[in-house]
Amino acid sequence: MKRIGVISDTHLKKPNSFIKEIATRHFEDVDLIIHAGDLVSLDVLDAFSSLNKEVIAVCGNMDDPEVRKSYPVTRIIIIEEVIIGITHGWGSPSGIRHRILESLPHVDAVIYGHSHQAFFGMEAGIFFFNPGSPTDSRFTTNQSIGIIEVRGDSIEGAIVIL
């Protein structure tokens, strides 16, 4: 089994004490951390450096040029037997999963952000997971992150309300 800490839409120029607390409190026992874009600055990832975990990230629409040069818009990874597409997302929150699915064919799961609206569930036979935003409750009433567990070809997720 692999546990994945998932975060998106931090919208920070540098890591603050809240993001560092999230890292140590919620991501200490994960095998991998995924940031689904809108870091804004590469410095935000320093919040996870003390954990000595692999961090995979994609860039989002609000990221500065340094982030855009360092991270792709989309990534495909394989965890155990699950093919996972990672992207930030774009456009209106309405229809976002449909747009993403058209750009990421042949995946079993999608991790995304952009809408700030936490979500997990099956759609069109694909497991979708959006951790929401830990720092911005625009478009939603909660600040959140997520945890995903992969066992073989099975994937489950949970939203952690902060």
For 122-145, write each residue's pLDDT tens digit.
999 999 999 999 998 677 788 999
Kindly state the DSSP code that residue 12 receives in the 8-state scheme: B
**pLDDT tens per residue, range 43-86:** 999 999 999 999 999 999 999 999 999 999 999 999 999 999 99
User: What value does the mean pLDDT take over residues 79-104?
Assistant: 95
Dump the DSSP string for 41-109: SGGGGGGGGGGT-EEEE---TT--HHHHHHS-SEEEEEETTEEEEEE---S-STTHHHHHHHHS-S-SE
Q: Give me the domain span that covers residue 37.
A: 2-161
pLDDT confidence of 41, banded at 50, 70, 90?
Answer: very high
Q: What is the count of structural domains for the chain?
A: 1
Q: How many CB atoms lie within 10 A of CB 122?
A: 10
- pLDDT of res. 93: 87
Q: What average pLDDT score do residues 145-156 get?
A: 98
Q: Which of 4, 79, 66 is nearest to 36 (CA)?
A: 4
Amino acid 138: pLDDT: 72
What's the confidence (pLDDT) of residue 113? 97
Q: What is the CATH number of the domain that holds 47?
A: 3.60.21.10
147: β partners: 5, 158
pTM: 0.95
Q: Which of 71, 53, 40, 58 is nearest to 110 (CA)?
A: 58
Across the range 36-48, mean pLDDT stands at 95
Task: Please give the pLDDT value at position 105.
Answer: 86
Amino acid at 17: S
